[in-house]
């Protein structure tokens, strides 16, 4: 029997009687990271990486949570389980399972370029690798960190010189903190939406260096301050009354989907920055190859394309049907 199989509740390990990122309530769940499409309410017992505790409790409330540092192995019903860096967001982990001489690794979501806000991705040797494929098409090739932030800083600086706020729409968990960590904070003050600041606090508590941030309701924030500010807000804030306080602002969206110009037009923003917490096409290729796996399951994204490419490389490949999405798109935070 396979070490991991697909069930209606999610990816299931029969030997250990637990699930990995299940989308329906189960007794025992290993959570790869705290984005809402992977970490859901209703499970009896959760296990995740130590650095995921803050985000999981912030998002899920009171849960029974067991945490594990990277590389430490525990045994459950004869299955050896360990967590390894995925490079996606703070606390993100690949799940390594060893049982009966077989080694499987479930990647969760991952990114292969280090960004300074979480432990960088580490390939884990295995027989079978379960990989995401969110951006599994050859068109998706990300700019380097240096190129990305040179573009954001230039846009922000120009707007500040012209007396306009720079509103950058980005997911509250992961992308917002990457932006904070990477931008040139000397350009002006940074204002964040109410959905972003609690997650900033979790990152700071984990030792990630982030510049000072303000909310629009803080006394230090004035009309003059806002005219030079960088404003980070989730996509759900677009078009809400919360945005009106920034006056004649310039707006932008940070996402891997900005690689496609049509997506930027549909978003109705001035600028699009190509930025993703997932691996691009070359990243997926290199990550899969580095595992040495002869068998690969593809969970979500461009599954058919990735399966076909893997098969052409001589690997055994097939898809797993899942309910995972893109980076917490279900974020429905209320503007504050």
Q: What is the pLDDT of residues 281-305, one digit of tens each?
A: 999 999 999 999 999 999 999 999 9
pLDDT of residue 35: 96
Q: How many CB atoms lie within 10 A of CB 124?
A: 24
Q: How far is CA 228 from CA 83, 163, 167, 247, in A?
A: 42, 6, 11, 12
In this structure, what token pair is assigned to residue 163? 């007396």
Which pLDDT band, with edges at 50, 70 and 90, does 333 fall under?
very low
Q: What is the pLDDT of residues 224-234, one digit of tens each?
A: 888 899 999 99
Q: What is the pLDDT of residues 10-66, one digit of tens each?
A: 999 999 999 999 999 999 999 999 999 999 999 999 999 999 999 999 999 999 999
Which pLDDT band, with edges at 50, 70 and 90, does 261 fall under?
confident
5-139+277-319 under CATH 3.40.50.620, yes or no: no
Dihedral Cα 15, 319, 120, 47, nearest 10 deg: -30
Residue ranges of alpha helices (H) inside the chain are: 53-60, 145-161, 175-182, 197-205, 223-226, 261-267, 281-291, 303-312
User: What is the maximum span of the chain, computed from C-alpha positions, in angstroms?
Assistant: 65
Domains of the chain, residue spans = 5-139+277-319, 145-274
Specify the higher pLDDT residue, 334 or 242.
242
Helices 53-60 and 197-205 sit at what angle, rounded to 10 degrees? 150
Residue ranges of alpha helices (H) inside 61-196 are: 145-161, 175-182
pLDDT of residue 336: 33
Q: Average pLDDT, stretch 125-146?
A: 97
pLDDT of residue 234: 96
Q: What is the CATH number of domain 145-274?
A: 3.40.50.10890
Which pLDDT band, with edges at 50, 70 and 90, does 264 fall under?
low
Candidates 186, 41, 183, 21; CA nearest to 110 is 21
Which pLDDT band, with edges at 50, 70 and 90, does 267 fall under?
confident
């Amino acid at each position: 029997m396979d070490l991991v199989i697909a069930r209606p509740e999610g990816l299931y390990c029969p030997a250990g009687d637990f699930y990995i990122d299940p989308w329906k309530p189960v007794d025992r769940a290993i959570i790869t990271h705290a984005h809402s499409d992977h970490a859901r309410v209703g499970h009896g017992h959760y296990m995740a990486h130590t650095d995921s505790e803050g985000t999981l409790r912030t998002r899920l409330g009171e849960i029974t949570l067991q945490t594990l540092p990277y590389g430490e192995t525990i045994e459950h019903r004869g299955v050896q389980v360990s967590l390894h860096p995925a490079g996606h967001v703070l606390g993100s982990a690949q799940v390594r399972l060893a049982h009966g001489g077989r080694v499987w690794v479930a990647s969760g979501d991952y990114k292969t370029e280090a960004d300074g806000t979480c432990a960088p991705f580490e390939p884990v040797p295995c027989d079978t690798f379960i990989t995401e494929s969110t951006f599994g098409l050859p068109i998706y090739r990300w700019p380097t960190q240096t190129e990305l932030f040179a573009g954001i800083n230039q846009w922000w600086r120009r707007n500040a010189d012209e007396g306009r706020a720079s509103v950058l729409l980005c997911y509250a968990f992961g992308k917002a903190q990457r932006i904070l960590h990477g931008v040139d904070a000397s350009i002006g003050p940074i204002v964040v939406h109410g959905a972003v600041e609690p997650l900033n606090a979790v990152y700071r508590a984990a030792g990630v260096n982030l510049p000072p941030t303000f909310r629009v309701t803080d006394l230090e924030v004035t009309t003059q301050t806002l005219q030079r500010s960088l404003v980070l807000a989730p996509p759900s804030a677009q078009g809400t009354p919360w945005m009106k306080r920034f006056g004649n602002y310039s707006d932008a969206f940070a996402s891997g989907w900005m690689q496609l110009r049509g997506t930027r037009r549909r978003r109705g923003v001035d600028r699009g920055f190509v930025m993703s917490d997932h691996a691009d096409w070359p990243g997926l290729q290199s990550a899969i190859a580095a595992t040495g796996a002869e068998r690969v399951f593809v969970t979500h994204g461009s599954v058919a394309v990735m399966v076909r490419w893997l098969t052409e490389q001589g690997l055994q490949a097939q898809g797993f049907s899942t309910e995972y999405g893109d980076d917490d798109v279900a974020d429905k935070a209320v503007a504050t």
